[in-house]
Structure 1
Amino acid sequence: MDSPHGAAVTAEDFGLKGPRGWAFRSVSIEAEPGSLIAIEGPSGSGRTCLLLALTGRMRPTEGRADIGGLALPSEMAGVRRISALGPVQGVSELEQALTVGEHLRERALLQRRFDASLRALLRPRAERTAAARIRIDEALQAAGLDLATLPKQERTAVRDLERLEALRLSVSLALIGRPRLIAVDDADLKLSDTDRAEAWRLLRSVAAAGTTVLAVCSQAPDGTKAVRTVAGAMAESAEDDTGEAAPETPGGTAQAAPQTPGGMAQAAPDDTGEAAPDTPDDTTKDTTEEGTADALAETGRA
């Protein structure tokens, strides 16, 4: 597989405040292209919000960040175009009723429809199909997912996959677009020690191939660049415009959010208890065709 040019990730005093307080605050990162960056901390400490903010899916409140030469928050749409989401609950979840093959073909179709050049779209159908197959095969190889080992090969339903197999499938789908950065939420959730070690080997191999990886986890393994979020400390209450203290959730964060067609987030809870603020005004929403394409490509829904 051709090695994508990974995106360097830098952030300084990066923070995001929601209606109920700070989701995360005072985060600083400096990572080279092709790095594996572990966002560690307890559930409810703003890990998922930080992941979504660094990939241009949520608008930060303070500080600055640069992703592959694109500044946040001013170039959020550009950051979305060079990044891809792996599994993120409520945002880019796998559809349990679909088969592995259906997920892969759908993602390749969306990728071709929204990201390909006009010249590529005008190529004969057989050539387009062959090119899509090559992308799928490369992504599967990079994620270490062998369809022949699944119970019904590519006809296996997602609900019948083991947790590690589902993670590999989500990473494969993200890699089909050949992004410069991919983001994986709850990388070590519900995994045995053996599977957890295998999951980190997978993410290290993706980073080693050139793609920068952001991974949320409860505890970062040795040898990774770790960024820690802390429940309460990062999400201390702050005064609102009326001078009254803003209420917080038990984890000190705002409510979490699913993605909208513009690739942004609306307030709604997720299973981690982490946060996503409402978009404060229309200027935070991307209503262009590019924004819609971003969202379709991430959710896998037409």
Structure 2
Amino acid sequence: MDVDGVSVLARGITARGPEGTVFENVDLRVNPGSLAVVCGPGGTGRTSLLLALSGRLRLVAGHVEVSGHVLPAQARAVRRLVLPARLRPGYELEERHRVREAVAERRLISGVPISSIADAFDLLGIDPNASSLVGELAADERLLLAVALTAASAPAGIVVDDVDVGLGATGRSRAWAALRGLAGTGMTVLTSATDPPFGDVEVIPLPAQVTHRPTPTLVLEREEIR
């Protein structure tokens, strides 16, 4: 897999929901092929920032460009470049599906051949039992399955929310190593976590400016059918 990743530039961006400010006056730059981590405690708008950077949440102030595409005017193009592997709410694997059903569904939606999915499994170091329920997989295996199914179509960017949620030290190490490997293909990997991993990552800190998490679904941009 060889990918031309997206770049992301944001200046002074702000989002508000029905309960108030989600995040405010955020500046960031993410280079193509980087592993970037939006980090901070709950309630700081990590998920909402990922939604905004991938063209799925409208901002009230600031400027964002994703590989030259300006948001919100070119949000449709950005949504085609940057795909969600896990982005809560709304973009998660169905836990009641079996692995083979999740694979079949992704092939139907994206049109990728089974060989591309097998290559993505190898890249991320997973080999899930096709008969297993998604919800029965270990948390790190379930996360990496979602990432692999999305990465199989080789998007320019991929979004992975809450990387460290529910993972112990071994699971976190495995997940971050796999995501570093994915970024090594050239793909831009945008993630969120409570704490960033050690090493060569682009950290985007969010301060705890609010004590609640406004519901971003009320301000989501419409997702285009691919």
Find the aligned partners of 1:285 and 1:84 in 2 and give their Cα distance: 14
- 1:143 aligns with one of 119, 124, 129: 124
**Is this contact kept in 1: 2:17–2:216, CA < 8 A?**
no
Matched, 1:292 2:225: yes
| Unaligned ranges ≥5, structure 1 | 113-130, 148-152, 236-249, 258-265, 267-276, 294-302
Matching residue of 1:225: 202
Pair 170,28 (structure 1): closer, same or farther in 2 beyond 3 Å: same
- Which amino acid counterpart does residue 95 of structure 1 have in structure 2? E
Matching residue of 1:56: 55
- Which amino acid counterpart does residue 212 of structure 1 have in structure 2? T
Pair 60,99 (structure 1): closer, same or farther in 2 beyond 3 Å: same
**How far has the Cα of 1:45 moved from its partner?**
0.8
- Paired-residue identity, %: 32
Find the aligned partners of 1:107 and 1:203 in 2 and give their Cα distance: 20
Find the aligned partners of 1:40 and 1:180 in 2 and give their Cα distance: 22
Matched, 1:255 2:215: yes
Find the aligned partners of 1:188 and 1:132 in 2 and give their Cα distance: 30
Alignment of 1:145-224 (within 5 A): 145-147=126-128, 153-223=129-199, 224=201
Find the aligned partners of 1:254 and 1:194 in 2 and give their Cα distance: 32
Matching residue of 1:99: 98
| Unaligned ranges ≥5, structure 2 | none
**Is this contact kept in 2: 1:107–1:176, CA < 8 A?**
no
**Is this contact kept in 2: 1:15–1:23, CA < 8 A?**
yes
SS of 2:86's partner is coil
**How far has the Cα of 1:136 moved from its partner?**
1.3
- Which amino acid counterpart does residue 113 of structure 2 have in structure 1? A
**Is this contact kept in 1: 2:57–2:216, CA < 8 A?**
no
Alpha-carbon RMSD:
1.6
**Is this contact kept in 2: 1:8–1:67, CA < 8 A?**
yes
Find the aligned partners of 1:107 and 1:96 in 2 and give their Cα distance: 14
TM-score (norm 1): 0.71
| Bigger radius of gyration among the two | 1
Deviations along 1:1-33, whole A, 9 cap, x unmatched? x21111011111111112221111111111210
**Is this contact kept in 2: 1:41–1:218, CA < 8 A?**
yes
TM-score (norm 2): 0.94
Matching residue of 1:296: none
| Worse-matched range after superposition: 131-140 or 212-221 | 131-140
